[in-house]
Amino acid sequence: MVSPRFVLLEAARSHARVIVPGLTRRSFLAGAASTTLALLLANLRTAGKGTSAPAGARALPEYRRWEDLYRQRWIWDRRVRCTHLVNCWYQRNCAWDVFVKDGVVLREEQAGTYPQVSPEVPDFNPRGCQKGACYSALLYAPDRLRYPLRRVGPRGSGRWQRVTWDAALSEIADAVLDALRDGACESVVLDPGGSTASATWQIGLRRLIAMLGGVELDTNTELDDGQGGAAVTLGNPVASRSADDYFRSDLILIWGANPVYTQIPNAHFLFEARYRGATLVTIAPDYSPSAIHSDLFVPVRPGTDAALALGVAHLLIERGQFDAEFVRAQTDLPLLVREDNGRFLRESDLQASGREDVFFAWDERAGEMAPAPREHLAWGSVQPALTGRYRVHTRAGPVEVRPVFARLREQLQQHYTPAAVARICDLSESTIHRLADLIGGAPAISGVTGSCFAKFYHGDLILRAQLLLFLLGGHIGRPGDGFDVLPFLYVDGADRAGGTQASEIARKLRLLPDYLRKRLAGETQERFLADALRDYWWQAGRVSSVLYWRQHAGLAERCDADWGRRLPRPVEAYVRESFGHAWHKEPPRVAPRVLLLGGSNLLRRLRSSDLLLKNVWPRLRLIAAMELRMSSTVRYCDILLPAASSYEKDDLPNWFTLLSPYLHITQAAVPPLGEAKPEWEICVALARAIEKRAAERGMRAFRDRAGEWKRLDDFATRVAFDGKFPEGSQTELASEVIAKSTIVDASNFEELRESGFCRVARVGTHPLNIGTATDMPPDAPAINHRWRRSRPGPWPTLTRRVQFYIDHPLYIELGEELPRHKDPPPIGGNHPVILTSGHTRWSIHAGWRHVSLLLRLQRGEAVVFVSREDASARGIEDGDRVRVWNDVGEFLVQARVSPAVRPGTAILYHAWEDHQFPGGRGHRNLLPSPLNPVELAGDYYHLRPVPAALQPGQSDRETRVEIERTAPR
C-alpha cells in the first residue's frame, strides 16, 4: 500500500489538483481519508495522479491513528532561516524558520531569536504576522505562476499557452528591438511596483531599463507614500526611530495609523509602554482596532486633522506651554516676513549684491535685525524675537516686517480657537482641551503615523500642522520623543554592487567640482546629495508615474476637473508652468509601446486605472510581467515570466525600516516551483535574448534618448556588470550587496545564513537615509532625529531650519504659506458619504487577498463598512449587496454594518482585486484623484522633486459616493 503522504508529496512536486470523492466529516474522522485532508490543511496543497510509487522511492510508514499523523508534522528534513521579501511597509521583514520535508515547505514559524538590546526596554521577539505564517500558501496556491505563458485569447480573457523561456524572452526582445530600431527607446517603459522588494530584482530591472534608454516610473508618490508635508517642513521626509524607543514615551499619539492592523510585529511596544505608564491616544474617524486599546479616542471628522492640530497648537501657545528656546534655534518661526508681499526678508532686499538665501530675525537685545546663521543653528548673543512688528529699510523703501511666529499666532487666534475647531472637526471643546492638556504636560511624546495622510488631497497641510504641534514642544531628538513619518532605510549596497574601484573614483571626481562649488555657496551636504541623486535618476530616465499616466492615459479628464476646488487657474496652467520652469520633469511625449511590469499590479494600484485599459492598453504592442501569481494586471498581460518566491532564492530587501533595525536575508529553502527563476536571472536572461535577437536581426547599436549610439553586441555582458554576475550568480550578487552596504558590518551573505539577520550599525551615507539623522547604538534604542540635538546643524531646507513658512509663489497663490486647514473638496461629486480606506489586516497589499486561509477569517469577499445610521436610512442590512456610485463610476460590494464606523463615512480597505468584485469592477475605478497644484512647486532649494518624494501624488481618502441596496443577503 502506498502512503497517502507519498501521494501528496508527489502532487506537490507536480502541482496537480486533487479531488477526493466521497470525503465527509464522518469518513474523515473514521478512516484513511483523514490522513489526506489533514495533510492538505498542513500546507501540502495538492494531489497525485497515480497510486503507485516510482521505482527507487523509499518506503514510507503507514498512518493508522491520527496521533501518528500529528507526530509527523513535527518531523522534517531541515530548517532554513528566511524572511519575506514583500512590501509590508512599517513592519517590514521578520525572521522565520521554514521547515522542509521531501522538498516541500511544511510550514513556517517565527524565529524569536532577536538579541536583547538593553534590559531597560522590551526586545523585538517574536516578529511576524498571520501573513508570514501562511506564506507557504502562496507557494502552492492555484494561481501561482509556474511556467512562462503567452496570451492566446484577447487581453483579460484568461486564455494562456505554456511556452519555453527562450520563446517568451525572444518575443519580449523583439518588441523592445522594434522600438529601438524606430528610434523610440523611451517607448519602452518599466513599472517597478511596490512588490519589487528585493535588492537583486531592483538592480536587474533598473540596469535593464537604463541601458535600453527607456523610462522607469517613480511610483512611490503615485501610491502617495511620499509624505510631502514632512518633506516640505523638514527638507527630507525620512524620520524614524527603532520601535523599542516607544517604550520610553510618556504620551503616544496614534494619529493617521492603525498599528494593530498594519504594524503587527511592532504594536506590542505601544502596549508595553502603556503598561509602563504611558498614555495612549488614538485620533481617527472610526473606532479602529487600535482605538480599542487606547486611553483616549478622538473621533475627528475625516480630512480635518490639520484643524485639530492647529487648535491644540493655539492652546499651547496661549498657555505658554511650548519650548521657546527650541523654536528660536531650530525653526524658521523667528524669521522676518515682509507685510507687503508675504515673502521672507532677504539680504537681496537690502543690497544689490545680497543673497536670496540669507534671512533675518529681530534681535531683542540689540534692537536691530540680525542675519540668521547658515552653517549652524546657534544664534550666539542674538535673542530672536518671536513677536512684534518692525520697520526696516529696503532698497525699495521702508517695509514693515513680522516674525513668522507672530503671523502664525494671529492665524491661530482668528481661525483655530477651541470653539472653531470643534465645529470643523465635529468634536466637543472639552475633548480638544483634554488633548491639549495631555500634550502640554507630557515630557516625551511619540507620534505614530503611517502613509494615511499623504493619501488625502490636503494631506500635506495635515502633516505640516502635525509637525508644528510636535516641534513647538521640541519633541524631537530625545528618548521617547519624535514624530515618525517615512521610516525608510535604503540598502545602499544595491547602488554600489558590481562597481569597480576605478569607477567609484571616477564618479567621485565628477561630483567633486560641483560639490565644492555648492558647499562654498552654503549648500548643505544633505541637500547636495539629494540633488545629485535626483539628477542621476532623471538622466537614467526616471519620471513621475502620476505625471506620466496623466499625459499618456488621459487621467487629466478626471483629475483636472473642478471638483469644488475653486482654484485660481486651471490645473493644466499649473502643470505647464511647472514644466516651463523645469520645476518638474516633463514625461517623454513618445507614447508607450512596450510595458515591462516588475512586481507591479498597476491596474489594481492606480486610481482611475480603467482609463489605462481604455486609453493605453489598445496602443501597447506588448505587456510583459515578472510575477509570482496571477493578479488584476497580470490577467491583461501578453507574456508572463514566473518569478521565484522568498523561499526559493538567496536574496535580501532593497530597503526596510528603522522601526525594526535589522537587515534580514532570505534563502533558497526549496527549488523554484516549476520553471520559475530568481528575478536577477530573469533580467540577465532577457538581456541575453535582446543581444541574441539583435545579432540575428543585424542590429549592432541603437540611439539612446540623448542621440548617442549604444552597442547591442555586448548588451548582456554589460547588464551583468561586465560578466561579473551572469545567470546563476544570484547568491554572489546578494552577497556583494551586503558587502558594499554601509549600514551594516556584515561582510557577506554566508555570514548571515544561520541567524538570518544582523542589526543595523549606522544609517550610512545614502541621501535617502541621511534624513533619519540618528545613531544606531548597539545597546540602546535608536532615537528619532537624534543628531538634531546631539550635533545640531542646518536642516536641508531653504532657511536651514525646520520650515513652517513657505513663500514659494504657488504656496502664496493658494494661500498655503503656513499650515492651515482646508475643507476636503467634494471629489467625485456632491454626494453624502465620504468613502475612505486603510491598509488591510488580512493581506499585504493584494498579495494575500486570494489566500483561502485568510479569506476564512473575513467574509471571503470585498466588503464596505457602513455605519448603522447610514445603513438604516438606506434600508441596508448586514450582508446585503450594495451599489456604491458617484459621478465617475460604480461598483458592487457586500455591506458590513458596523457601530465602529462614523456616520457619513464608509470604509473599504484596500487591496481587493477587481475580479473579486461582482462584475469584475473594483473601487479604484471611481476615484478621480485630482492633482493638487501645490505639489508642482520647485526651484525653491528643498522643494525639488527627488526619487520617491516631492512629486505629485494620488489621493483616495475623501472621495464622495452614494450607497444603495441592490440585493438582500
pLDDT tens per residue, range 689-722: 999 999 999 999 999 988 999 999 999 999 999 9
| Per-residue pLDDT at 1 exceeds 60 | no
Q: Is the pLDDT of residue 375 over 50?
A: yes
Residue with cell 509602563: 276
Kindly report the number of other CB atoms within 10 A of residue 939's CB atom. 13
Report CA 27 to chain centroid distance, whole Å.
Answer: 49
Q: How many residues does the chain have?
A: 969
- Which tens digits make up the pLDDT trace of 229-272? 999 999 988 889 999 999 999 999 999 999 999 999 999 999 99
pLDDT in tens, 450-469: 888 999 999 999 999 999 99
Q: Which three cell numbers stand for residue 17?
A: 489538483
pLDDT band at 74 (very low <50, low <70, confident <90, very high): confident
Mean pLDDT for 550-571 is 93
Residue type, 746: A
- C-alpha atoms less than 13 angstroms from C-alpha of 498 in its C-beta half-sphere: 21
Placement of cell 536641508 in the chain: 796
Does residue 146 register a pLDDT over 70? yes
DSSP 478-495: STT-EE--B--EE-THHH
- Buried b vs exposed e over 119-128: b needs ≥16 C-beta within 10 Å? eebbebbbbb
> What is the spatial distance between Cα 453 and Cα 283, in angstroms, rounded to a whole number?
12
Confidence of residue 101 (pLDDT cuts 50, 70, 90): very high
625-662 pLDDT per residue, tens: 999 999 999 999 999 999 999 999 999 999 999 999 99
Residue 512 has pLDDT above 80, yes or no: no
DSSP 8-state class, residue 164: -
The pLDDT value recorded for residue 12 is 38
Q: Is residue 878 within 8 Å of 897, Cβ to Cβ? A: yes
Alpha helices in 212-298 (DSSP H): 228-234, 259-262, 267-276
Average pLDDT over residues 173-190: 97
Predicted local distance difference test score (pLDDT) of residue 61: 59
**Are 924 and 912 spatial neighbours (Cβ–Cβ below 8 Å)?**
no
Return the pLDDT at 330. 96
Q: For the chain, state the CA radius of gyration.
A: 29
Phi/psi of residue 569, each to 5°? -140, 160
Binned at pLDDT 50, 70 and 90, residue 926 comes out as: very high
728: its cell numbers: 546563476
> What cell numbers appear for 962 in the block?
452614494
- CA distances 676 to 11, 541, 627, Å, are 17, 29, 9
218-222, 379-383, 759-763, 797-801, range with the lowest pLDDT: 218-222
The reported pLDDT for the residue numbered 139 is 93
pLDDT tens readout for residues 818-868: 999 999 999 999 999 999 999 899 999 999 999 999 999 999 999 999 999
On average, the pLDDT of the chain sits at 89
For 541-587, what is the HEC assignment?
CEEEHHHHHHHHCCCHHHHCCCCCCCCCCCHHHHHHHHHHCCCCCCC
Cβ burial, residue 530 (10 Å; 0-12/13-18/19+): buried
Q: For residue 434, how many C-alpha atoms fall within 13 Å in the half-sphere facing its CB?
A: 13
Q: How far apart are CA 146 and CA 578, in angstroms?
A: 46
Model confidence pLDDT, tens digit, residues 876-911: 999 999 999 999 999 999 999 999 999 999 999 999
C-alpha cell at 400: 514693515
Nearest to 216 by CA among 197, 194, 188: 188
Work out the number of other CB atoms within 10 angstroms of the CB of residue 350: 16
Residue 619 scores a pLDDT above 90: yes
What single-letter DSSP state applies at residue 838?
A: -
Q: What is the pLDDT of residue 70?
A: 80
pLDDT at 508: 52
Quick one: CA dihedral 286, 458, 830, 923, positive or negative?
A: negative
pTM beyond 0.95, yes or no: no
Short-list 14, 204, 156, CA closest to 630:
156
For residue 756, pLDDT over 60 is answered with yes
644 in Cβ contact with 626 (< 8 Å): no
Q: Which of 35-49, 136-150, 379-393, 437-451 has the lowest mean pLDDT?
A: 35-49
Residue 804 gets which letter from DSSP? -
Q: Which residue has the cell 497517502?
A: 4
Measured between alpha carbons, how far is residue 880 from residues 185, 840, 842, 874, 904 in Å? 51, 21, 22, 11, 18
C-alpha cell at 778: 548597539
Write out pLDDT tens, residues 589-613.
Answer: 999 999 999 999 999 999 999 999 9
Q: Tell me: the pLDDT tens digits for 399-408?
A: 999 999 999 9
Grid look-up 456632491 returns 830
